């Protein structure tokens, strides 16, 4: 395993930006910056041995800070926190106290508020090449940041193995009861970012999805996928049953038997032969097909736009803080919130 560490000269007010490249013996490469914990690149050889970058993003780290990018912001490859997805009306209660977060998506709070973990510069606390390539970062979110109570300490660890497995681990502690639901918001296109992803093949290990209101906030009800346009229990193209103007923006409950790592999703491209599996300790995976990606130039001068990528965001049920029947997302002092997601890369046999 080889790790290259580069200092980035930032044109914004961000300081101490770095880009780290984890490279295994097969030349599979994962590039990470401490700006938002963004995975800027995943290079993996296609069926013909040619390297393909399977995540959307930019060649220049400073482009992640540009006004143009933030004017229609898709959160390319970043950590989402303190709370992934939407909180109804931006409001929640802990121990009888009501907290009002910013209403950044209509009347609801999206992805942690005005300035979530995706825009923070994380401290790099560990870089190691053995036994696997590893980068560990830390961010301390102060009490009251984005109206969330408690000082929250989060460790993010990203790993790459010689077997082409990419691990993403979150570990959090707090000094006051608070709401926590973290995810990593990678945008994937197994054809190197070119074209729409409707023709990608997808299978989800999920018999139920979460009902949403008109602003995509979960209501607490589960809907069985059988006989619906959301049935991915057997592999099919993403666009087979979708509304071509909407795609998918839906949370699926993983059919899990344990609290450990289990398969959530498997995608593949017939063009490149690349197979992408998502294994996670989390209970749900959110499928988003990039409807709101604004037209912009990405890596290698590739033109991005709506439906240029799919996201498979592993997390706890969105809006769980307001739905008693959903799993707990309140973290208390003395407890530790932990989750792990693994991306497994391979080829069609």
Range of the domain at 101: 2-347
Q: What angle do CA 74, 283, 29 make, to 5 degrees?
A: 50
Tens digit of each residue's pLDDT (9 = 90 or more) over 28-67? 999 999 999 999 999 999 999 999 999 999 999 999 999 9
Q: What angle do CA 110, 114, 119 make, to 5 degrees?
A: 100
Is residue 155 within 8 A of residue 136, CB to CB? The reply is yes
Beta bridge partners of 262: 280
Catalytically annotated residue among 111, 185, 230, 286: 185
How far, in Å, CA of 28 to CA of 250, rounded? 30
Catalytic annotation present for 235: no
- Per-residue pLDDT band at 282 (split at 50, 70, 90): very high
Cα 273 versus chain centre, distance: 23
Tens digit of each residue's pLDDT (9 = 90 or more) over 188-247? 999 999 999 999 999 999 999 999 999 999 999 999 999 999 999 999 999 999 999 999
Task: Write down the pLDDT at residue 99.
Answer: 98
Tens digit of each residue's pLDDT (9 = 90 or more) over 136-176? 999 999 999 999 999 999 999 999 999 999 999 999 999 99
Tens digit of each residue's pLDDT (9 = 90 or more) over 238-281? 999 999 999 999 999 999 999 999 999 999 999 999 999 999 99
pTM here is 0.97
Is residue 76 within 8 A of residue 187, CB to CB? The reply is yes
What does DSSP assign to residue 71? H
Catalytically annotated residue among 165, 200, 313, 317: 313
The pLDDT of residue 106 is above 90:
yes
Report, as an integer, the average pLDDT of 329-343: 98
Task: Write down the pLDDT at residue 191.
Answer: 97
Task: Write down the pLDDT at residue 348.
Answer: 85
Task: Write down the pLDDT at residue 9.
Answer: 76
Q: Give the residue from 176, 224, 192 showing the smallest Cα distance to 309.
A: 192
Report the CATH number that the domain containing residue 260 is assigned in CATH: 2.70.98.10
Is residue 133 within 8 A of residue 31, CB to CB? The reply is no
Tens digit of each residue's pLDDT (9 = 90 or more) over 291-319? 999 999 999 899 999 999 999 999 999 99
Domains in the chain, number: 1
Number of residues that this document lists for the chain: 349
**Burial readout 300-324 (b: 16 or more C-beta within 10 A, e: otherwise):** eebebebbbbbbbbbbbbbbbbbbe
Chain-wide mean pLDDT for the chain? 96
Catalytic annotation present for 145: no
Task: Write down the pLDDT at residue 14.
Answer: 66
């Amino acid at each position: 395993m080889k790790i290259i560490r580069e200092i980035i000269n930032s044109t914004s007010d961000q300081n101490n930006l770095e880009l780290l490249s984890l490279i295994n013996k097969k030349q599979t490469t994962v590039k990470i910056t401490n700006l938002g914990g963004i995975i800027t690149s995943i290079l993996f050889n296609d069926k013909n041995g040619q390297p393909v970058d399977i995540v959307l993003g930019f060649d220049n780290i400073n482009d992640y800070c540009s006004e143009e990018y933030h004017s229609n912001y898709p959160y390319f490859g970043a950590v989402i926190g303190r709370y992934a997805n939407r909180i109804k009306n931006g409001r929640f209660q802990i121990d009888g106290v009501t907290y009002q977060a910013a209403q950044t998506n209509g009347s609801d709070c999206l992805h942690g508020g005005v300035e979530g973990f995706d825009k923070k510069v994380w401290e790099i606390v560990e870089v190691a090449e053995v036994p696997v390539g590893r980068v560990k970062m830390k961010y301390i979110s102060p009490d009251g940041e984005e109206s969330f109570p408690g000082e929250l300490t989060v460790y993010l660890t990203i790993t790459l193995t010689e077997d082409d497995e990419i691990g993403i681990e979150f570990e959090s502690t707090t000094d006051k009861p608070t709401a926590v639901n973290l995810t990593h918001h990678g945008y994937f296109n197994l054809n190197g970012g070119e074209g729409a992803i409707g023709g990608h093949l997808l299978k989800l290990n999920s018999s139920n999805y979460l009902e949403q209101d008109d602003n995509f906030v979960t209501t607490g009800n589960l809907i069985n996928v059988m006989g619906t346009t959301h049935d991915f229990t057997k592999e099919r193209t993403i666009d087979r049953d979708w509304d071509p103007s909407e795609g998918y923006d839906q949370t699926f409950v993983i059919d899990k038997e344990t609290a450990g790592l289990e398969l959530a999703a498997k995608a593949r491209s017939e063009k490149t032969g690349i197979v992408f599996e998502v294994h996670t300790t989390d209970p749900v995976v959110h499928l988003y097909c990039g409807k709101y990606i604004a037209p912009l130039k990405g890596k290698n001068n590739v033109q991005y736009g709506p439906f240029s990528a799919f996201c498979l965001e592993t997390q706890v049920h969105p809006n769980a803080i307001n739905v008693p029947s959903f799993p707990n997302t309140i973290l208390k002092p003395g407890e530790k919130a932990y989750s792990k997601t693994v991306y497994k890369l391979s080829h069609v046999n």
